[in-house]
Each structure stands twice: as structure tokens, then as C-alpha cells.
Structure 1
């Protein structure tokens, strides 16, 4: 799993309305693209933005994703 920084966790949480803090407009579009992407295009986006893809996948597919991202966002530590 790719590293998810507190900054990335905060941006993805905000995108999904779960707290966090808003990213800049470019990063918001990246998160939106990852959110909408089919698996093949998500894999392509992961080449350039592996941390954001990992965070979006966590919040979408892991039942504990919100809790895990919240822990990363508030801890200041990078999760691997």
C-alpha cells in the first residue's frame, strides 16, 4: 500500500464530506477524477498520484476507511 500523508487524508476526507480540509482546485479535480474513474483509468491515475488513489480506495472500499484516514489526518504521521 502506498503511503498516505496527513495532507492527503485531510483532502480526501473533505471531498467525501467527512471532515478534513479542502485541497486546492487542481488537487480537488484529481480527487474527483479518481472518484469517478473505472479500474483501468484509476490504475493510470495511480502512476502519478498513488497516495491519493490509495486514500480514495480506502474510503470507498474499506469499512474502516473513514476511521483510518481520520487517524492519519489527526496523527501527523504517514501511514504505509
Structure 2
């Protein structure tokens, strides 16, 4: 099992920001929107299950939910910066 976090893409950062209603967000397609909403509501056990199939999306949502600077970090990624 890898211990490194996946790289969050610009698009994923923008989509997560939109789901959380924050500046810099861009509405994803329906599947991605529902996936990110599911991750936003999921507890950690279920997030881990979903993360096995969607690691980048899960990492971005975890950042938004649990990291104090997570939204700011996603906003930086959304404009082409690095985490």
C-alpha cells in the first residue's frame, strides 16, 4: 500500500471547491458531482472504501473537510499552483 497522497489536479480542485460552495469552483459533470457529494457526506470508514477507486477525489475532499488550510490549498491548486 502506498503512503503518499495522490496529486490533486486543477479540475478536481475546482470541482471540490464548487461542491463546498467556495470561490474558484467550477461545476463538474453529474457523476463527478454526485461522487464528490457522497465523499463530502461519508464518514472516514466509507471514505476509505471509496478512496480505493477514486483516490484523487477522496484526497481533495479530505483536504476540504479536515485541513484548516484545505480550502485555501485547493484554491491555489485550482489556479495552477501547487499544494
TM-score, with normalisation over the residues of structure 2? 0.87
**In 2, Cα distance between equivalents of 1:34 and 1:70:** 19
Higher helix share: 1
Identify which of structures 1 and 2 has the higher relative contact order when contacts are C-alpha pairs closer than 8 Å and 6+ apart: 1
TM-score norm. by structure 1 comes to: 0.90
Q: Which of 57, 64, 78 pairs up with 1:73?
A: 78
Corresponding residue pairs, total: 78
Secondary structure at 2:38 match in 1: helix
Where do 5+ consecutive residues of structure 2 fail to align?
Answer: none
Ranges in structure 1 where 5+ consecutive residues have no aligned partner: none
